[in-house]
Amino acid sequence: MQLLRHETAVIRPIKPPFDHDHTLPLSHLDTDRNLLVTLRYLRIYPGSRHNQSDPFHVITAALSAALLPYYPLAGTLRRRPSDHRLELHCRAGDGLPVILAVAGGTLAAGAGDGGDDPSFMDQLAPDPDPGSDPIRPMVLQITRFSCGGFVLGASVHHAICDGFGATLFFSAVAEAARGVGGAGVVDPVWDRSVLLGPRSPPRVEYPIRELLSLDRGFSPYAGSGKRVVKEYLNVEGAWLGRVKEMWYKQSGLKFTTFEALGALIWSSRIKADKLPPNEKVTFAYSISIRNIVNPPLPAGYWGNSCVPMFVHLTAGEVAGQPVWKTAAAIKGSKQHATAEYVASYVDFQELHYDEGINGGRRVSGFTDWRHLGHSAVDFGWGGPTAVVPLSSRLLGSVEPCFFLPGKEGMVKVLVHLEEGVVLGFRGEMDKLRNMENGLLSPI
């Protein structure tokens, strides 16, 4: 399928949001070196919907309205000379770039379920130069298909917001597009350096150093140089429920879907990698701190509001122990999610920022997108039928795993793997598929 990019429009707020140029500081969670990546993803809206309006005009007009309160997204990220941390520069006349593209084919209802041409899908979201200076916090692309469907591709720098913060913004855009007067949209809150800044003086009272590594010369996203590919799975919720019930009988522990499925996939990946038994491996994930910090973060806070959590084991432990024990380790790691952990993590960033803070050298990143509200972003054509991550760098991992909204009763999983271990990973998953005669099938 051929794609043609027609123009790039710079969308500005409907009226000037400020009367003088200024700089906004970011929080220490925003500037965490492991989050200095661009998240690229797609929202897919197939054709055959009643609204015949041009999505490019509808969405760009709504963007202009939403950018009035969310004007920092029209600014630029620049490094501060004093310490090289990013900060947000806002100048009069700044705008958010939106690319218009067209494609001649049909956008099927099943698009985004994993069977699409990866190289074509990758063209549906902007791919800015990660080394550019200054950095655009957000760039969008709207691709219209001849069938009437469209794809909204987003490139969002993680320093400006996380998935929850981005969804707050897109929800505001969707409300404006539908002309519902902002019902249900909360006012955005910045105050990042105040709400999530270091203490004075900074102090690390939680044993953070047991979870994080310091290596000034280490780049977590350097990777091995080997090709990384995507592997999609559909996991039947009923099967996973039987697995969790079986583990409860064995361990007396009740596991969430994230804990159980994360353990199953991580175990299969480590076995397929065939690592030395004594090599340290890390399961990394993020946990929301919105209600952990005291006082809780305001509802409209749209900066990064998660901290990374880590499970450190050896490859031999993960490969050799019952999978429920790995799930138990993931469950147990949640005990770190306290207000003091958050404060110490922020203070650790303040004290050791230049020393290469990282989660380890063999990190598998896991993130759960099922409850971020992606599917509720309705510009007037209904919500998207699929959300497709394109990024392969997250949480200090070059092989992240995404849990995505699936069809009713299913969990869709996207796993990034080095090409050479895909067959081994599938073999390990096949063994699990036979547990309780369950269904765990590649898409």
Q: Is the confidence at residue 141, as pLDDT, over 90?
A: yes
Q: Is the confidence at residue 173, as pLDDT, over 70?
A: yes
Query: CB neighbours of 123 closer than 8 A, spacing ≥ 6?
Result: 3, 101
pLDDT value at residue 293? 96
Amino acid at 120: F
pLDDT value at residue 50? 58
Pick the CATH number of 208-442 from 3.30.70.100, 3.30.559.10, 1.20.1250.20, 3.30.2130.10: 3.30.559.10
Task: Work out the pLDDT band at 181, boundaries 50, 70, 90.
Answer: low
**By the 8 A CB rule, do 148 and 102 touch?**
no
User: Number of H helices and number of E strands within the chain?
Assistant: 10, 18
**By the 8 A CB rule, do 61 and 10 touch?**
no
**By the 8 A CB rule, do 285 and 309 touch?**
yes
Hey, what CATH topology would domain 3-183 get? Chloramphenicol Acetyltransferase (3.30.559)
Q: Is the confidence at residue 220, as pLDDT, over 90?
A: no
Of 43-57, 66-80, 242-256, least confident by mean pLDDT is 43-57
Q: Is the confidence at residue 353, as pLDDT, over 80?
A: yes
Of 65-69, 222-226, 230-234, least confident by mean pLDDT is 222-226
Q: Distance between CA 42 and CA 386 in Å, rounded?
A: 8
Sign of CA dihedral 118, 119, 121, 122: positive
Tell me what the pLDDT averaged over the chain comes to.
Answer: 91
Amino acid at 8: T
Residue with tokens 């692309």: 141
Query: CB neighbours of 241 closer than 8 A, spacing ≥ 6?
Result: none
Q: Do 3-183 and 208-442 share a fold? A: yes
Task: List, in sequence order, every beta strand (DSSP E) within 106-250.
Answer: 138-145, 150-157, 213-214, 228-236
Amino acid at 10: V
Single out the residue of 154, 98, 164 nearest to residue 303, CA to CA.
Answer: 164
Q: Distance between CA 423 and CA 426 in Å, rounded?
A: 5
Q: Is the confidence at residue 375, as pLDDT, over 80?
A: no
Write the CA distances from 277 to 263, 318, 329, 365, 426, integer angstroms.
18, 9, 18, 20, 21
3-class secondary structure, 328: helix
Q: Is the confidence at residue 68, as pLDDT, over 90?
A: yes
Residue boundaries of the structural domains of the chain: 3-183, 208-442
**By the 8 A CB rule, do 8 and 98 touch?**
yes
Q: Is the confidence at residue 443, as pLDDT, over 80?
A: no
